[in-house]
Chains A and B, each alone.
Chain A
Amino acid sequence: MLVPILKEGDYLIASIPSPLNDTELLQLRDALVERVDRAEAQGVLVDVSRVDVMDSFAVRTLSSLATMTTLRGAETVVVGIQPEVASAMAQLGLSLQGIETALDIPDGAAWLDERARRSIHAGD
């Protein structure tokens, strides 16, 4: 399944419509990393609100996505993790190491805005 990647302002938004298998996850990761380069995006929002299962592979893939996009100058925010998924992940000891999380896409975008604002101030 091809996950559509939208560009909204400086950010890329990928809304995962249903749980992905491992290959599809890797495809999504590669597509996002490529788009970050091509579109010069400042941030990536991955919406997982319709994903009801997050295994260790998904978590690892998202972590590597975050690292890759950071190396290309864009921060990744995972948004919309469902309560039961969060509970299961915490129970399994899976944490999104080095990834920012937010409640939904507007929240994630707000966090990216804030971060951009602060980095500008830090640059002054």
Chain B
Amino acid sequence: MQPRTGRVTASSAEQMSLGLSSTRSGESGESPGTGVTPAAPLAPGAVELAAATTTASADALARRRARRSWAERAADDSLGRTARGRRGGDAAGAASTGSLEAHIARALAALGPAALRAYADALSDRLTTDRAAGVARLAVLLRDRLVHALRETLRALAMPIVPLRERLLLVPVSGPLDRARARDLTDALLYAVHAHRARVVVVDLAEVARADAAAPTPVHDGGADAPAETAGTQNVASHLLHAARATRLLGASLIVSGPPPTLAQALTQLGADARALRIAPDLSAGVREAERMLDHIVPTHAIAQVARWSTTNV
């Protein structure tokens, strides 16, 4: 019986209304070995979760377990012995709760063993249902945490920002580019431009194009899928254009290299003018264009600096 009660992790405050006042000291006095480590019988994932739960709920759990074991023991054993045990616990630990617990023991003695057993059974039923709910909640929490962690990892891995040369950033985007990622890209890009003092940013979408080609959207009944696909591309295009305009406000330019044909089409449809956004057929053309712009923009006194920088770094 002890281990099973120990497994219930998600304790609700409402449960506490059933329980009496707490008895950590009582527990240690009574049975030092039983259930002192709450997380011991839990599944590996649950240990982590239990650690993350608030101390309040951990306290509630400990209190409830102590209460239950005590009630059972009170029902099974003779009341006098339990009361003695409790008194011993009081002497060892918190003397302040002593009078209250003595009062409780007296109240339980008045109830009698049969009533106590019924109470223990009711408590046991309640704990069983709680356990199922707790496991379900735990599963949901673990899944959410996993999904979040995976998403963060993906975000970090899939969108590196490479300072290619002084004042030139390269952002190779791989994998399918959806709306959320396009938005992340915009934010990351703007902060990177600011931090690196970039003049030109090349966003390479060649890998995106490859991903699109490798995994074409399954077309079951042609007409239904095509418009949705176009809408997604348009969204990405508008995000890219937004990124380009914001980048320009910072004083830098954006070059999109190797965009998938549909995206290139959507970009031109949205009126991406050459001033806001340049499109290059592939990465090398994009970088060439960027270097040309940099040489064009960088004033004479800085060119010497750049030349020195590039010779020392080659």
Q: Are the CB atoms of A103 and B251 closer together than 8 Å? A: yes
Q: Are the CB atoms of A110 and B299 closer together than 8 Å? A: yes
B246 at the interface (CB under 8 A from A): yes
CB distance from B288 to the nearest CB of A (A): 21
Dominant secondary structure at the B interface: helix
CB distance from A92 to the nearest CB of B (A): 10
Cβ proximity bits B51-92 to A, threshold 8 Å, 1 near / 0 not: 000000000000000000000000000000000000000000
B250 at the interface (CB under 8 A from A): yes
B106 at the interface (CB under 8 A from A): no
Please tell me the number of chain B residues within 8 Å of chain A, measured between CB atoms. Answer: 22
Q: Are the CB atoms of B190 and A101 closer together than 8 Å? A: no
Partner-contacting stretch, out of B107-115, B124-132, B142-150, B191-199: B191-199
Dominant secondary structure at the A interface: helix
Q: Are the CB atoms of B193 and A83 closer together than 8 Å? A: yes
Q: Are the CB atoms of B248 and A87 closer together than 8 Å? A: no
Q: Compute how far the CA of A107 lies from the CA of B297 in the bound complex, rounded to whole angstroms.
A: 10
44-95 of chain A: CB within 8 A of chain B: 79, 81-87, 89-91, 95
Q: Compute how far the CA of A108 lies from the CA of B297 in the bound complex, rounded to whole angstroms.
A: 11
B168 at the interface (CB under 8 A from A): no
Which B residues touch A101, using CB under 8 A? Answer: 248-251
CB distance from B125 to the nearest CB of A (A): 55
B95 at the interface (CB under 8 A from A): no
Q: Compute how far the CA of A104 lies from the CA of B252 in the bound complex, rounded to whole angstroms.
A: 11
A26 at the interface (CB under 8 A from B): no
Q: Are the CB atoms of B246 and A86 closer together than 8 Å? A: yes
Given contacts A83-B190, A83-B194, contact A90 B249 (CB under 8 A): yes
Q: Are the CB atoms of A95 and B249 closer together than 8 Å? A: yes
CB distance from A18 to the nearest CB of B (A): 19
A contact residues vs B (CB 8 Å cutoff): 79, 81-87, 89-91, 95-96, 101-104, 107-108, 110-111, 113-114
B contact residues vs A (CB 8 Å cutoff): 186-187, 190-191, 193-194, 197, 199, 242-243, 245-252, 297-299, 302
Q: List 11 A-B contacts (CB under 8 A).
A: A83-B250, A86-B250, A87-B190, A90-B243, A103-B193, A103-B194, A103-B251, A103-B252, A110-B302, A114-B297, A114-B299
